[in-house]
Amino acid sequence: MQKPICLITGATEGIGKATAIELAARGFTVVLAARDAAKAEGVAREIEAATGHRDADYLVADLTSLAEVRALSEKFHQRYPHLDVLLNNAGIFSGKREITGDGFEATYQVNYLSQFYLTLLMLDALQRAEQGRIINLSSSVHTNGKFDPDNLQSEKGFSTFGAYATSKLLMLLYTIELAERLRGTSVTANAVHPGVVRTQMMFRAPGIFRAVAYAALPFSVSPQRGAATSVYLASSAEVKDVSGKYFTRAREASFKTAFNTPENRALLWDLSMKSLPSEADAPGQALPASR
């Protein structure tokens, strides 16, 4: 049987790397999306050594560039006939407001917009799979995020935690909207809270947040445990037809945010689409509005 194919962003460390290793061990062909070619090559070889399978590949792309996201999609399509799982795992925790070459605030672009764009670009490959699955990394800190159409990129003042929390809220709202628009297709979309995970991003947190990270160590879990929910959603037959849900600890969880309304989700979608390059309307990317 043909091995399922999984494309993972942010896969060279932490949760993404642990997820890649586990899925490879379960028989997936794992494609790492990373900005550092040498690091990605090393992780691919590490995955092969850990699993005994030579089915780890990588593609280089910096998520601060929409052009590189587009190139990543094109390279994937050249190499692979379909995509079974897209895992939007990448994330940053920035200590200051920085603007990318595309003109977006970096946390907003890396943690949300570029992965929104990548998903659209990969929809045709996902639809060619027997059953495509989209898994988006959110977080329980989405409860601290705010959906303000005039402040999605911290235009009114930057807060490290606020920008991160808002990016995770946007990922959650977008996942629900995407699932609605994919209803009736063979592709599902779900969001994940991995838990408080001991990762390099956690220990590289700026300023006071690094002290908070160390204080949280007794309550944190390993990257392997943090990856468990993503692995479950990628591989379990139990969730084959589940879409538009929020998962933690490998089970569906309830969540509550006043910003989760059909109007806000549709507005976020429209604002995100308007931020993308004109070629974003290529075949396979048009989805009906949510019902």
Q: Please state the domain extents for the chain.
A: 5-196+222-281
Question: What homologous superfamily does CATH list for 5-196+222-281?
Answer: NAD(P)-binding Rossmann-like Domain (3.40.50.720)
What HEC string does 195-259 produce?
CCECCHHHHCCCCHHHHHHHHCHHHCECHHHHHHHHHHHHHCHHHCCCCCCEEECCEECCCCCCC
- pLDDT level of residue 283 (50, 70, 90 thresholds): very low
Mind giving me the DSSP string for 54-80?
--EEEEE--TT-HHHHHHHHHHHHHH-
- pLDDT level of residue 126 (50, 70, 90 thresholds): very high
Tell whether the model's pLDDT for residue 235 goes beyond 70. Answer: yes
Which pTM was predicted?
0.90
pLDDT the model gives residue 219: 46
- Mean pLDDT, the chain, rounded, equals 88
Tell whether the model's pLDDT for residue 234 goes beyond 50. Answer: yes
Cα 219 to Cα 209: distance, rounded to the nearest angstrom: 15
Please state the rounded mean pLDDT for residues 32-44. 95
pLDDT the model gives residue 204: 56
Q: What is the pLDDT of residues 216-225, one digit of tens each?
A: 444 445 667 7
Please state the rounded mean pLDDT for residues 191-215. 58
Tell whether the model's pLDDT for residue 205 goes beyond 80. Answer: no
Residue 159's contacts (CB-CB under 8 Å, 6 or more residues apart) are none
Q: What is the pLDDT of residues 92-107, one digit of tens each?
A: 988 899 999 999 999 9
Cα 171 to Cα 227: distance, rounded to the nearest angstrom: 18
DSSP structure class, residue 260: -
Cα 22 to Cα 218: distance, rounded to the nearest angstrom: 24
**Catalytic-labelled residue, pool 108, 112, 117, 164:** 164
Q: Order across the sheet with 187-192: list the strands.
A: 56-60, 29-34, 5-9, 85-88, 132-137, 187-192, 246-248, 251-252
pLDDT the model gives residue 216: 47
Please state the rounded mean pLDDT for residues 5-24. 93
Please state the rounded mean pLDDT for residues 82-96. 93
Least confident span in 14-18, 69-73, 259-263: 14-18
Is 108 considered catalytic here? Answer: no
DSSP structure class, residue 2: P
Please state the rounded mean pLDDT for residues 120-148. 94
Share of the chain above pLDDT 90, in %: 72
Which of 15-24, 109-118, 137-146 has the highest average model confidence (pLDDT)?
Answer: 109-118
Long-range contacts (CB closer than 8 Å, 24 or more residues apart) made by 267-272: 267/149, 268/147, 268/170, 268/173, 268/174, 268/177, 269/174, 269/177, 269/181, 271/149, 271/152, 272/112, 272/113, 272/116, 272/174
